[in-house]
Amino acid sequence: MKMVFRWYGEGNDSVTLQQIKQIPGVEGIVWALHDMPAGEEWPMDKILEYKKLSDEYGLHLEVVESVNVHEDIKLGLPTRDHYIENYKRTIAKLATVGVKTICYNFMPVFDWMRTDLYKEMEDGSTALFFDKAKIAAMEPQELVRSIAENPDFTMPGWEPERLQRVGPLIEQYQQVTEEELFENLGYFLREVVPVAEAHGIKMAIHPDDPPYSVFGLPRIVTSQANIRRILELVDSPSNGVTLCSGSLGANPENDLVAMVHEFAGRIPFAHIRNVKVYPNGDFIETSHRTSDGTVDITGIVQAYHDTGFEGYARPDHGRHIWNEVCRPGYGLYDRALGIMYLWGVWDAAARAARREA
Ligand code: DNO
Ligand code: MN
Protein backbone atom coordinates (compact mmCIF):
# COMPACT_ATOMS: atom_id res chain seq x y z
CA MET A 1 0.00 0.00 0.00
CA LYS A 2 1.51 3.29 -1.10
CA MET A 3 0.15 6.14 1.02
CA VAL A 4 -0.57 9.45 -0.70
CA PHE A 5 -2.27 12.69 0.32
CA ARG A 6 -4.44 15.03 -1.69
CA TRP A 7 -3.02 18.51 -2.12
CA TYR A 8 -4.89 21.33 -3.89
CA GLY A 9 -1.82 23.39 -4.74
CA GLU A 10 -0.08 26.49 -3.48
CA GLY A 11 -2.45 29.24 -2.38
CA ASN A 12 -5.34 26.82 -2.70
CA ASP A 13 -4.77 24.55 0.29
CA SER A 14 -4.33 25.26 4.02
CA VAL A 15 -1.95 22.29 4.26
CA THR A 16 1.69 22.68 3.20
CA LEU A 17 3.92 20.17 1.41
CA GLN A 18 6.22 20.20 4.41
CA GLN A 19 3.37 19.15 6.68
CA ILE A 20 2.42 16.39 4.27
CA LYS A 21 6.01 15.18 4.19
CA GLN A 22 5.92 14.81 7.99
CA ILE A 23 2.92 12.45 8.07
CA PRO A 24 4.35 8.95 8.63
CA GLY A 25 4.53 6.83 5.52
CA VAL A 26 3.23 9.41 3.03
CA GLU A 27 5.24 9.21 -0.17
CA GLY A 28 3.40 11.34 -2.68
CA ILE A 29 0.73 13.93 -3.41
CA VAL A 30 -2.54 13.49 -5.22
CA TRP A 31 -2.89 16.52 -7.42
CA ALA A 32 -4.67 18.16 -10.33
CA LEU A 33 -4.80 21.41 -12.24
CA HIS A 34 -7.96 22.49 -10.49
CA ASP A 35 -8.60 25.57 -12.60
CA MET A 36 -8.60 23.68 -15.90
CA PRO A 37 -12.11 23.43 -17.33
CA ALA A 38 -13.19 19.83 -18.06
CA GLY A 39 -12.32 18.81 -21.62
CA GLU A 40 -9.30 21.06 -22.10
CA GLU A 41 -5.82 19.78 -22.72
CA TRP A 42 -3.55 20.42 -19.73
CA PRO A 43 -0.62 22.75 -20.47
CA MET A 44 2.84 21.28 -19.96
CA ASP A 45 4.27 24.29 -18.14
CA LYS A 46 1.61 24.03 -15.41
CA ILE A 47 2.23 20.28 -15.07
CA LEU A 48 5.96 20.95 -14.70
CA GLU A 49 5.31 23.44 -11.87
CA TYR A 50 3.84 20.60 -9.81
CA LYS A 51 6.73 18.36 -10.74
CA LYS A 52 9.22 20.94 -9.51
CA LEU A 53 7.36 21.53 -6.23
CA SER A 54 6.92 17.87 -5.39
CA ASP A 55 10.57 17.12 -6.22
CA GLU A 56 11.62 19.86 -3.82
CA TYR A 57 9.94 18.03 -0.94
CA GLY A 58 10.85 14.52 -2.01
CA LEU A 59 7.21 13.63 -2.68
CA HIS A 60 6.13 11.95 -5.90
CA LEU A 61 3.19 12.97 -8.08
CA GLU A 62 2.22 9.60 -9.46
CA VAL A 63 -1.51 10.03 -8.78
CA VAL A 64 -3.72 12.63 -10.42
CA GLU A 65 -7.26 13.26 -9.15
CA SER A 66 -9.03 14.14 -11.32
CA VAL A 67 -8.74 14.72 -15.02
CA ASN A 68 -12.40 15.62 -15.39
CA VAL A 69 -14.51 14.27 -18.22
CA HIS A 70 -16.42 16.78 -20.35
CA GLU A 71 -20.22 16.56 -20.12
CA ASP A 72 -20.47 16.02 -23.90
CA ILE A 73 -18.64 12.71 -23.44
CA LYS A 74 -21.06 11.62 -20.71
CA LEU A 75 -23.99 12.78 -22.81
CA GLY A 76 -22.61 10.99 -25.89
CA LEU A 77 -22.82 14.09 -28.10
CA PRO A 78 -21.04 14.20 -31.49
CA THR A 79 -18.70 16.86 -30.08
CA ARG A 80 -17.29 14.27 -27.65
CA ASP A 81 -14.46 13.16 -29.98
CA HIS A 82 -12.76 16.52 -29.74
CA TYR A 83 -12.72 16.34 -25.94
CA ILE A 84 -11.58 12.70 -25.99
CA GLU A 85 -8.59 13.68 -28.15
CA ASN A 86 -7.70 16.36 -25.61
CA TYR A 87 -7.99 13.78 -22.85
CA LYS A 88 -5.57 11.46 -24.67
CA ARG A 89 -3.05 14.23 -25.10
CA THR A 90 -3.28 15.07 -21.40
CA ILE A 91 -2.63 11.41 -20.54
CA ALA A 92 0.51 11.41 -22.71
CA LYS A 93 1.79 14.61 -21.10
CA LEU A 94 1.16 13.35 -17.57
CA ALA A 95 3.13 10.20 -18.32
CA THR A 96 6.23 12.29 -19.06
CA VAL A 97 6.40 13.51 -15.42
CA GLY A 98 5.88 10.02 -13.98
CA VAL A 99 2.12 9.87 -13.43
CA LYS A 100 0.95 6.26 -13.01
CA THR A 101 -2.72 6.58 -12.07
CA ILE A 102 -5.47 8.94 -13.18
CA CYS A 103 -8.61 9.09 -11.08
CA TYR A 104 -11.75 10.40 -12.78
CA ASN A 105 -15.49 10.15 -12.33
CA PHE A 106 -18.46 9.76 -14.62
CA MET A 107 -21.11 11.52 -12.56
CA PRO A 108 -23.44 13.68 -14.62
CA VAL A 109 -23.30 17.38 -13.68
CA PHE A 110 -22.40 17.11 -10.00
CA ASP A 111 -19.40 15.56 -8.31
CA TRP A 112 -19.89 14.60 -4.64
CA MET A 113 -22.92 16.10 -2.97
CA ARG A 114 -23.66 17.04 0.63
CA THR A 115 -26.35 19.16 2.27
CA ASP A 116 -24.12 20.48 5.06
CA LEU A 117 -20.37 20.99 4.95
CA TYR A 118 -20.01 21.76 8.67
CA LYS A 119 -22.51 19.61 10.55
CA GLU A 120 -21.70 19.72 14.23
CA MET A 121 -21.04 16.41 15.90
CA GLU A 122 -21.46 15.60 19.62
CA ASP A 123 -17.81 16.27 20.40
CA GLY A 124 -17.87 19.75 18.80
CA SER A 125 -16.07 18.72 15.63
CA THR A 126 -17.79 19.32 12.29
CA ALA A 127 -18.07 17.12 9.23
CA LEU A 128 -19.72 16.70 5.85
CA PHE A 129 -23.32 15.58 6.11
CA PHE A 130 -25.98 14.38 3.67
CA ASP A 131 -29.70 14.76 4.39
CA LYS A 132 -31.28 12.19 2.09
CA ALA A 133 -34.89 13.32 2.39
CA LYS A 134 -33.96 16.94 1.72
CA ILE A 135 -32.34 16.05 -1.62
CA ALA A 136 -35.05 13.52 -2.51
CA ALA A 137 -37.70 16.21 -2.00
CA MET A 138 -36.04 18.51 -4.55
CA GLU A 139 -37.60 17.86 -7.92
CA PRO A 140 -35.13 18.35 -10.79
CA GLN A 141 -37.43 20.86 -12.52
CA GLU A 142 -37.83 22.77 -9.28
CA LEU A 143 -34.07 22.86 -8.81
CA VAL A 144 -33.52 24.05 -12.38
CA ARG A 145 -36.15 26.76 -11.83
CA SER A 146 -34.64 27.88 -8.51
CA ILE A 147 -31.24 28.19 -10.13
CA ALA A 148 -32.61 30.13 -13.11
CA GLU A 149 -34.77 32.50 -11.09
CA ASN A 150 -32.39 33.25 -8.25
CA PRO A 151 -28.85 34.29 -9.20
CA ASP A 152 -27.76 33.83 -5.56
CA PHE A 153 -29.19 30.35 -5.23
CA THR A 154 -26.55 28.02 -3.87
CA MET A 155 -25.88 24.52 -2.56
CA PRO A 156 -23.07 23.45 -0.21
CA GLY A 157 -19.82 23.38 -2.15
CA TRP A 158 -21.34 25.08 -5.21
CA GLU A 159 -20.79 28.73 -5.84
CA PRO A 160 -23.74 30.48 -7.60
CA GLU A 161 -21.82 31.12 -10.88
CA ARG A 162 -21.07 27.41 -11.28
CA LEU A 163 -24.63 26.44 -10.38
CA GLN A 164 -26.04 28.83 -12.97
CA ARG A 165 -24.26 26.87 -15.68
CA VAL A 166 -25.60 23.49 -14.56
CA GLY A 167 -29.32 24.30 -14.64
CA PRO A 168 -29.79 23.57 -18.35
CA LEU A 169 -27.50 20.53 -18.10
CA ILE A 170 -29.67 18.90 -15.46
CA GLU A 171 -32.57 19.26 -17.84
CA GLN A 172 -30.58 17.75 -20.72
CA TYR A 173 -29.81 14.65 -18.65
CA GLN A 174 -33.44 13.91 -17.84
CA GLN A 175 -33.54 12.08 -21.20
CA VAL A 176 -30.38 10.00 -20.60
CA THR A 177 -30.89 6.49 -19.21
CA GLU A 178 -28.39 4.49 -17.15
CA GLU A 179 -27.95 2.15 -20.12
CA GLU A 180 -26.98 5.09 -22.31
CA LEU A 181 -24.54 6.28 -19.67
CA PHE A 182 -22.93 2.81 -19.67
CA GLU A 183 -22.66 3.01 -23.47
CA ASN A 184 -21.10 6.46 -23.32
CA LEU A 185 -18.62 5.31 -20.69
CA GLY A 186 -17.76 2.30 -22.88
CA TYR A 187 -17.11 4.58 -25.86
CA PHE A 188 -14.82 6.79 -23.76
CA LEU A 189 -12.91 3.83 -22.28
CA ARG A 190 -12.39 2.09 -25.62
CA GLU A 191 -10.72 5.28 -26.84
CA VAL A 192 -8.73 6.24 -23.78
CA VAL A 193 -7.63 2.96 -22.15
CA PRO A 194 -5.30 1.86 -24.99
CA VAL A 195 -3.57 5.25 -24.79
CA ALA A 196 -3.22 4.96 -21.01
CA GLU A 197 -1.89 1.43 -21.42
CA ALA A 198 0.72 2.56 -23.94
CA HIS A 199 1.90 5.20 -21.47
CA GLY A 200 2.02 2.93 -18.41
CA ILE A 201 -0.95 4.68 -16.80
CA LYS A 202 -3.94 3.14 -15.02
CA MET A 203 -7.29 4.86 -15.29
CA ALA A 204 -9.32 4.57 -12.07
CA ILE A 205 -12.99 5.52 -12.05
CA HIS A 206 -14.29 6.99 -8.79
CA PRO A 207 -17.70 5.81 -7.53
CA ASP A 208 -20.65 8.15 -7.51
CA ASP A 209 -21.16 9.95 -4.25
CA PRO A 210 -23.74 9.25 -2.95
CA PRO A 211 -24.07 6.00 -4.89
CA TYR A 212 -27.61 6.57 -6.15
CA SER A 213 -29.48 8.92 -8.43
CA VAL A 214 -29.98 12.53 -7.32
CA PHE A 215 -32.23 15.07 -9.07
CA GLY A 216 -33.27 12.46 -11.62
CA LEU A 217 -29.70 12.22 -12.92
CA PRO A 218 -28.50 8.76 -13.98
CA ARG A 219 -25.67 7.32 -11.87
CA ILE A 220 -23.92 4.02 -12.62
CA VAL A 221 -20.78 3.70 -10.48
CA THR A 222 -22.83 2.65 -7.52
CA SER A 223 -22.55 -1.07 -6.71
CA GLN A 224 -20.42 -4.20 -6.97
CA ALA A 225 -22.41 -5.45 -9.98
CA ASN A 226 -22.08 -2.16 -11.83
CA ILE A 227 -18.36 -1.83 -11.13
CA ARG A 228 -17.90 -5.40 -12.40
CA ARG A 229 -19.71 -4.38 -15.58
CA ILE A 230 -17.54 -1.27 -15.97
CA LEU A 231 -14.32 -3.26 -15.57
CA GLU A 232 -15.59 -5.66 -18.22
CA LEU A 233 -16.26 -2.84 -20.71
CA VAL A 234 -12.55 -2.89 -21.51
CA ASP A 235 -10.64 -5.81 -20.07
CA SER A 236 -7.31 -4.22 -19.26
CA PRO A 237 -5.39 -3.45 -16.06
CA SER A 238 -5.47 0.16 -17.27
CA ASN A 239 -9.25 0.15 -16.84
CA GLY A 240 -9.46 0.23 -13.05
CA VAL A 241 -11.48 1.57 -10.16
CA THR A 242 -10.74 4.03 -7.36
CA LEU A 243 -12.43 2.01 -4.67
CA CYS A 244 -13.85 4.70 -2.37
CA SER A 245 -15.19 3.09 0.80
CA GLY A 246 -16.93 6.27 1.92
CA SER A 247 -18.81 6.90 -1.32
CA LEU A 248 -19.92 3.30 -1.78
CA GLY A 249 -20.41 2.90 1.98
CA ALA A 250 -23.19 5.52 1.93
CA ASN A 251 -25.34 2.62 0.75
CA PRO A 252 -25.11 0.01 3.53
CA GLU A 253 -25.95 -2.72 1.00
CA ASN A 254 -22.50 -2.33 -0.55
CA ASP A 255 -20.09 -4.91 0.85
CA LEU A 256 -16.70 -3.20 0.56
CA VAL A 257 -14.69 -6.16 1.85
CA ALA A 258 -16.19 -8.35 -0.87
CA MET A 259 -15.37 -5.69 -3.47
CA VAL A 260 -11.71 -5.47 -2.40
CA HIS A 261 -11.48 -9.24 -2.89
CA GLU A 262 -13.35 -9.38 -6.19
CA PHE A 263 -11.65 -6.40 -7.81
CA ALA A 264 -8.10 -7.16 -6.57
CA GLY A 265 -5.65 -6.33 -9.33
CA ARG A 266 -8.00 -3.75 -10.80
CA ILE A 267 -7.82 -1.23 -7.92
CA PRO A 268 -4.93 1.13 -8.68
CA PHE A 269 -6.18 3.59 -6.06
CA ALA A 270 -8.01 3.18 -2.74
CA HIS A 271 -9.93 5.89 -0.93
CA ILE A 272 -10.35 4.64 2.62
CA ARG A 273 -12.73 6.57 4.86
CA ASN A 274 -15.67 5.90 7.13
CA VAL A 275 -19.24 7.22 7.11
CA LYS A 276 -22.06 6.70 9.56
CA VAL A 277 -25.31 5.90 7.80
CA TYR A 278 -28.48 6.48 9.81
CA PRO A 279 -31.62 4.33 9.46
CA ASN A 280 -33.32 7.08 7.38
CA GLY A 281 -30.43 7.07 4.87
CA ASP A 282 -28.77 10.29 6.06
CA PHE A 283 -25.02 9.97 6.51
CA ILE A 284 -22.14 11.85 8.10
CA GLU A 285 -18.41 11.50 7.51
CA THR A 286 -16.87 10.22 10.75
CA SER A 287 -13.35 9.47 11.94
CA HIS A 288 -11.67 6.53 10.24
CA ARG A 289 -12.06 4.24 13.25
CA THR A 290 -14.34 1.28 12.44
CA SER A 291 -16.46 1.70 15.58
CA ASP A 292 -17.22 5.35 14.75
CA GLY A 293 -19.12 4.63 11.54
CA THR A 294 -20.91 1.94 9.58
CA VAL A 295 -18.08 1.01 7.19
CA ASP A 296 -15.84 -1.89 8.21
CA ILE A 297 -12.52 -0.06 7.80
CA THR A 298 -10.59 -2.75 9.70
CA GLY A 299 -12.00 -5.45 7.41
CA ILE A 300 -11.26 -3.38 4.32
CA VAL A 301 -7.62 -2.76 5.24
CA GLN A 302 -7.23 -6.43 6.18
CA ALA A 303 -8.67 -7.37 2.77
CA TYR A 304 -6.23 -5.05 0.98
CA HIS A 305 -3.41 -6.64 2.93
CA ASP A 306 -4.59 -10.19 2.22
CA THR A 307 -4.96 -9.54 -1.51
CA GLY A 308 -1.40 -8.16 -1.74
CA PHE A 309 -2.55 -4.62 -2.54
CA GLU A 310 0.28 -2.60 -4.06
CA GLY A 311 -1.72 0.39 -5.27
CA TYR A 312 -2.02 3.89 -3.87
CA ALA A 313 -4.24 4.76 -0.92
CA ARG A 314 -5.39 7.99 0.62
CA PRO A 315 -7.53 8.73 3.69
CA ASP A 316 -9.86 10.70 1.41
CA HIS A 317 -11.72 13.10 3.74
CA GLY A 318 -11.57 13.96 7.41
CA ARG A 319 -13.62 15.84 9.99
CA HIS A 320 -12.72 19.38 11.01
CA ILE A 321 -11.16 19.11 14.45
CA TRP A 322 -9.07 21.17 16.86
CA ASN A 323 -10.48 24.38 15.32
CA GLU A 324 -8.71 23.81 12.05
CA VAL A 325 -9.64 26.18 9.23
CA CYS A 326 -9.44 24.30 5.94
CA ARG A 327 -11.25 23.22 2.79
CA PRO A 328 -14.33 21.19 3.77
CA GLY A 329 -13.16 17.61 4.37
CA TYR A 330 -9.55 18.41 3.59
CA GLY A 331 -7.90 19.40 6.84
CA LEU A 332 -4.55 18.13 7.99
CA TYR A 333 -5.35 16.76 11.45
CA ASP A 334 -8.12 14.26 10.92
CA ARG A 335 -6.71 12.94 7.66
CA ALA A 336 -3.31 12.45 9.34
CA LEU A 337 -5.01 10.61 12.22
CA GLY A 338 -6.83 8.51 9.65
CA ILE A 339 -3.56 7.55 8.00
CA MET A 340 -2.12 6.40 11.31
CA TYR A 341 -5.20 4.25 11.88
CA LEU A 342 -4.85 2.70 8.42
CA TRP A 343 -1.17 1.97 9.01
CA GLY A 344 -1.97 0.50 12.43
CA VAL A 345 -4.43 -1.99 10.96
CA TRP A 346 -2.09 -2.73 8.05
CA ASP A 347 0.97 -3.33 10.24
CA ALA A 348 -1.00 -5.57 12.60
CA ALA A 349 -2.25 -7.58 9.61
CA ALA A 350 1.30 -7.90 8.27
CA ARG A 351 2.60 -9.09 11.63
CA ALA A 352 -0.20 -11.63 12.05
CA ALA A 353 0.52 -12.98 8.56
CA ARG A 354 4.20 -13.38 9.39
CA ARG A 355 3.35 -15.28 12.57
CA GLU A 356 1.07 -17.64 10.67
CA ALA A 357 3.70 -18.32 8.03
C1 DNO B 1 -15.15 11.74 -2.63
C2 DNO B 1 -14.00 12.35 -3.30
C3 DNO B 1 -14.42 12.82 -4.68
C4 DNO B 1 -13.41 12.56 -5.77
C5 DNO B 1 -13.89 12.77 -7.19
C6 DNO B 1 -12.98 12.07 -8.17
O7 DNO B 1 -15.18 10.66 -2.15
O8 DNO B 1 -12.96 11.44 -3.30
O9 DNO B 1 -14.67 14.19 -4.61
O10 DNO B 1 -12.32 13.38 -5.58
O11 DNO B 1 -15.17 12.30 -7.37
O12 DNO B 1 -13.24 12.45 -9.47
MN1 MN C 1 -13.43 9.25 -2.58
Q: 116 CA to middle of ligand 1, Å? A: 17
Summarised one tens digit per residue, pLDDT across range 197-253 is: 999 999 999 999 999 999 889 999 999 999 999 999 999 999 999 999 999 999 999
Closest CA to 285 of 315, 326, 322, 253: 315
CATH 3.90.1170.50 fits 2-356, yes or no: no
- For residues 139-149, average pLDDT: 83
Answer yes or no: is the C-beta of 312 below 6 A from any ligand 1 atom: no
User: What is the pLDDT, as a whole number, of residue 169?
Assistant: 87
Whether residue 145 is predicted with pLDDT greater than 90 in this model: the reply is: no
Element counts in the chain: helices (H) and strands (E): 13, 12
Summarised one tens digit per residue, pLDDT across range 245-283 is: 999 999 999 999 999 999 999 999 999 999 999 999 999
- The Cα-based distances of 112 to 146, 206, 296, 328 in angstroms read 20, 10, 21, 12
- For Cα atoms 219, 6, 105, give the angle at the middle one, nearest 5 degrees: 15
Global pTM reads 0.96
Whether residue 147 is predicted with pLDDT greater than 90 in this model: the reply is: no
* Nearest ligand to the C-alpha atom of residue 30: 1
Q: 247 CA to middle of ligand 1, Å? A: 8
Which ranges of the chain would DSSP assign to H, the alpha helix?
Answer: 17-21, 44-56, 71-75, 80-96, 132-136, 140-149, 160-173, 178-198, 224-233, 245-249, 256-262, 297-306, 333-356
Confidence of residue 189 (pLDDT cuts 50, 70, 90): very high
